[in-house]
Amino acid sequence: MVTSHAEAARTLPSSIYDELLLGFAEGVAFDVRDSLKRRGEQLPDAFLNPGDPFARVLTWLWRHYADDAVRVASTYVDTLMRISADERLTRQQVVDGIRSIEGHYLTSAEVDELIRRLKRENGEDQSS
């Protein structure tokens, strides 16, 4: 049996594309928080790895639609901060979790640029 690894292209309205991406990012944030709570880890002390599916999606977006990758990363960070407001979680911890994809999916330079743009979008970096 021969299988094809070619990817089929799909055409989506931009509103549906946005809902899929941002809903995915929000879902990952809830999954990270819930997973840590199930394991009994305290968020301020935990390493917040968003997981392989998030890393694969973010990598693909970064290499094809970098602005969308930044929006997805920003939505993930903002959602995790919002739903974990009572956990003393810092924005830096969430960003450090995104760094976990470095070397496995994105290069160090790609992650640095993604995080630089993420911080700029959130008003954290005024140097650019």
pLDDT digits (tens, 9 = 90+) for 19-75: 999 999 999 999 998 888 887 766 556 678 899 999 999 999 999 999 999 999 999
Per-chain mean pLDDT for the chain: 86
Residues whose CB is less than 8 angstroms from the CB of residue 114 and which lie 6 or more positions away in sequence, other chains included: 58, 62, 66, 69, 70, 73, 98, 106
Q: In this predicted model, which residue has the larger pLDDT, 94 or 1?
A: 94
Q: In this predicted model, which residue has the larger pLDDT, 52 or 89?
A: 52
The reported pLDDT for the residue numbered 42 is 65
On the question of pLDDT at 86 being above 80, the answer is no
